[in-house]
């Protein structure tokens, strides 16, 4: 595989683990705030991100290339409100989509067709990730300072498997 593309895949593997860390920090914040439903949602999200990282891990191995594990960036760990947390999550997902798209363009430039096909899953997934975080931002904006509405949302998000 082209060296530049392999490096970019390894960087994205690392970014997905950073995403897992980021959501885990958010889960810890919600645990501290006693918002157990939000915490559960974030914990499930962190697990999904680790799965995303492992998809890159498996793909690189399947291509008989070398996985390179680098240090994981320390995430932000404090927020002032649930709304601020989800705004960060949405912004983060937009950034991830951007990275996935750049990676896809690089795979096209290098004419690496298997990588292009591999990335299709992530392109679709990012649409969902952005959509669901934005939906929660909008619901939290509507809830405002109404704690009963926030608790209702907490219960709703807690039903995530």
**The two structure tokens encoding residue 158:** 């807690």
The minimum distance between CB 21 and ligand FEO, in angstroms, equals: 12
Residues 65, 114 contacting (CB under 8 angstroms): no
Contacts with ligand FEO by CB under 6 A: the residue count is: 7
Q: 125 to 154, contacts with ligand FEO by CB under 6 A? A: 129
CA gap 144, 79 in Å, rounded: 16
The minimum distance between CB 56 and ligand FEO, in angstroms, equals: 10
The minimum distance between CB 96 and ligand FEO, in angstroms, equals: 4
Task: Between 92 and 106, name the residue whose CB sits nearer to ligand FEO.
Answer: 92
Residue of 16, 88, 112, 154 interacting with ligand FEO (CB under 6 A): 16
Residue of 39, 52, 56, 87 interacting with ligand FEO (CB under 6 A): 52
88 lies in the binding site for ligand FEO (CB under 6 A): no
96 lies in the binding site for ligand FEO (CB under 6 A): yes
- Ramachandran region, residue 67 (left: φ > 0; alpha: ψ -120 to 50; beta: rest): beta
Task: Between 14 and 19, name the residue whose CB sits nearer to ligand FEO.
Answer: 19
CA gap 118, 42 in Å, rounded: 26
DSSP letter for each residue of 14-31:
HHHHHHHHHHHHHHHHHH
- Quote the Cα angle for 21-121-51, to 5°: 30
What is the contact surface with ligand FEO in residues (CB under 6 A)?
16, 19, 49, 52, 93, 96, 129
């Amino acid at each position: 595989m082209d060296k530049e593309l392999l490096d970019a895949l390894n960087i994205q593997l690392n970014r997905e683990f950073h995403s897992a860390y980021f959501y885990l920090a958010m889960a810890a914040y919600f645990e501290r705030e006693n918002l157990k439903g939000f915490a559960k949602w974030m914990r499930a999200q962190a697990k999904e991100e680790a799965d995303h990282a492992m998809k890159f891990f498996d793909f690189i191995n399947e291509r008989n290339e070398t996985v390179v594990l680098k240090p994981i960036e320390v995430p932000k760990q404090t927020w002032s409100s649930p709304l601020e947390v989800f705004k960060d999550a949405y912004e983060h997902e937009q950034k991830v989509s951007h990275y996935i798209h750049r990676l896809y363009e690089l795979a096209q430039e290098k004419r690496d067709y298997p990588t292009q096909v591999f990335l299709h899953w992530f392109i679709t997934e990012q649409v969902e990730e952005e959509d669901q975080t934005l939906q929660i931002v909008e619901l939290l904006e509507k809830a405002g300072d109404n704690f009963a509405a926030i608790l209702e949302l907490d219960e709703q998000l807690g039903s995530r498997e």
